A and B are shown apart, each in its own frame.
Chain A
Amino acid sequence: GNSVTQMEGPVTLSEEAFLTINCTYTATGYPSLFWYVQYPGEGLQLLLKATKADDKGSNKGFEATYRKETTSFHLEKGSVQVSDSAVYFCALSGEGSQGNLIFGKGTKLSVKP
């Protein structure tokens, strides 16, 4: 079945450091890929998405590229801020599905000033 594997946290960085959170997936066909972010005490918010191979999703300085050859969708940001501290979830929506998401376990990011 479809699945998502993302790097385990927590990840602690200093402000302005470079961020990478790895995400790989297993799926048949051509899924859509997503990154969601969850701030403390809140629900999940869509951060970015990509719906076909080689697409790059971007938002708020974050980027992720849909790599079919490596079945990956790694999240990157060049310079993190304290306000980026949150839990980040990689997710996929399988081809032929009704759009329901399969999530990774989440990676907690803490950014220190």
Chain B
Amino acid sequence: DAGVIQSPRHEVTEMGQEVTLRCKPISGHNSLFWYRQTMMRGLELLIYFNNNVPIDDSGMPEDRFSAKMPNASFSTLKIQPSEPRDSAVYFCASSRTGGVGNTIYFGEGSWLTVV
């Protein structure tokens, strides 16, 4: 079974540019999560979806960030315009039922650098 697939793995972009991160969850999983990891703040949940519907986006830092899940096998996280402080590793993760105790599987992350 393929794991969570993220792209791009690495991206360097200039301040002000639009960044789109992509995620393909594990087939059959119906919950999807976007996390951000930085040295200063650790791992933060940005948003999560259940059955393609956003359940909680309170972790999204500001209006420059948006996430979509048009179908069960694809999600995007977009930053427009990007800023240097957005530099981080962005992880997508998925789980089967979204219930407590279910294992969440992480992708290998998208390493974003905004210069």
Binding site for B on A (CB under 8 A): 31-32, 34, 36, 42-46, 49, 51, 89, 93-106
When the two chains form the complex, which single residue of A46, A97, A100 contacts B103, counting CB atoms closer than 8 Å? A46
The reply to whether A100 and B101 contact each other, CB–CB distance below 8 Å, is no
When the two chains form the complex, which single residue of A42, A46, A49, A93 contacts B105, counting CB atoms closer than 8 Å? A46
For A31, what are the chain B residues with a Cβ–Cβ distance below 8 Å? Answer: 100
CB within 8 Å for A51 and B101 given contacts A100-B45, A103-B43: yes
CB within 8 Å for A100 and B99 given contacts A43-B109, A44-B106, A106-B42: no
For B55, what are the chain A residues with a Cβ–Cβ distance below 8 Å? Answer: 98
B48's nearest neighbour on chain A, judged by CB, is A100
The reply to whether B100 and A51 contact each other, CB–CB distance below 8 Å, is yes
When the two chains form the complex, which single residue of A46, A49, A99, A105 contacts B98, counting CB atoms closer than 8 Å? A99
CB within 8 Å for A45 and B106 given contacts A89-B43, A98-B31, A100-B45: yes
The reply to whether A99 and B106 contact each other, CB–CB distance below 8 Å, is no
CB within 8 Å for A49 and B100 given contacts A43-B109, A103-B43, A105-B42: no
